[in-house]
Amino acid sequence: MSDSNRRDFLAGTALLAATTAMFGNRTAEAGDPSFMNNVPDPALAGKELPTFKFALEKSMGKVIGKSSGKEATVEQLPISKGIAGVSMRLEPGAMRELHWHATAAEWAFVLEGRVRTTVIDPQGFAETNDFAPGDVWLFPRGHGHMLECLGNEPAHFILIFDNGYFSEFGTFSISDWIGHTPKALLAKNFGVPESAFEGFPKDEVYFARGAVPPEKPSTPLQGWKLPPTTHKYEMLEQPPHKIFKGGREWRVDSSRFPISTTITGVILDLEPGALRELHWHPNADEWQYVIEGNVSVTMFGSHGRYRTETMEKGDVGYIPQGYGHSIENIGNKPSRILIGFNSGVYEAIDLSQWFAGNPLDVLATNFSKPASLFEKFPKEDVFIAPQVGP
């Protein structure tokens, strides 16, 4: 063994020993989130919490014609390793071309305009759906799909991905693939002459532009072969999950939208001065996009670390799994926040709920205060506190 190889071997052995000491004698499979979530994130290991805010709509993004995509990945917001997001606008006649994401599922919420999608799954089932503002779609990881503006008005929607690295590793476009495949191979694959591929794009198109699509979807080449589980959910057509004095919440997870096994979506409305109370999520990271209003978001990271960010319309926030946080409307108008979680099951523990779940003597001992003080605290979960408090 050479000196160089010996050094590499010893370094690897030391790393394995340290890992075993930290996590126990078990093997971590590639992509095992239960293992990776135990590994300290260098971005969160400092004496101060890093920024968890990014001005998404003020970023440059990718622009072709009047269509654009602006992204927030770990490149733009290093803390956001578990979730990435995109703000996409399509002009009439524009299409986000046929593509798939090898490393992330795609969840979307339509803000403006109408969108038509097609998606195909590994069993060959294909679905075409039309979406309006307030509607949601979910495409599982690796499922081929396209998005196109429907009608004569531009469309705007927010995409959420369950992998903060998705942009760098995850997008495979059909024009890019065909443009770099020999024509002889394509001809053999499809059973058509090589000349059929003359004039095809040589590089990725990304946004294709053509005529405004027909109001009624056209029949697929294979005919209609619909999947057993739909990719569409009309989120804001449903009554709110819960209504409070200071706001309301819509929530869609896998219990309501079965195909959405890795992403949960929430629309949170807060009245002026209202507070989504201090809480944490045991099972997921939280990604926030401010649709309307001005909010103050706090994050608590243990060992006295606490950070507050002020966010406005078009800004993105990110809270890692298990970190305490709150969202407060600090403006004089109602605020609306789109929130995504990288789990198909919603879990949260609210601070008021935690207090209410403990006996008075436990609270008195913990805080060195008389038990009578805690008799004034809420006896149930607050969730949203109005401007004057619960």
Q: Would you please indicate which residues are annotated as catalytic (active-site) residues?
A: 96, 99, 101, 106, 145, 168
Residue 383: DSSP 8-state: S
3-state secondary structure of 28: coil
**How far apart (Å, rounded) are the C-alpha atoms in residues 334 and 270?**
6
Q: How many CA atoms lie within 13 A of 338 on its CB side?
A: 27
Residue 165: DSSP 8-state: T
Distance (Å) of CA 316 to CA 54, 55, 158, 282, 378: 5, 6, 11, 21, 31
Which residues, listed in sequence order, are joined to residue 266 by a DSSP beta bridge? 251, 339
Q: What is the CB neighbour count within 10 angstroms for residue 373?
A: 12
Dihedrals φ, ψ of 195, to 5°?
Answer: -60, -20
Q: Is 77 left (phi over 0), alpha (psi -120 to 50) or beta?
A: beta
Q: Largest alpha-carbon pair distance within the chain? A: 86
363 alpha-carbon distance from chain centroid: 37
Dihedrals φ, ψ of 63, to 5°?
Answer: -125, 130
Best CA proximity match to 179, nearest among 160, 195, 152, 198: 198
3-state secondary structure of 355: helix
Q: Is 93 left (phi over 0), alpha (psi -120 to 50) or beta?
A: left
298 alpha-carbon distance from chain centroid: 19
Sign for the CA dihedral angle at 192, 194, 200, 204 comes to positive
Helix (H) or strand (E) holding 277: strand 275-280
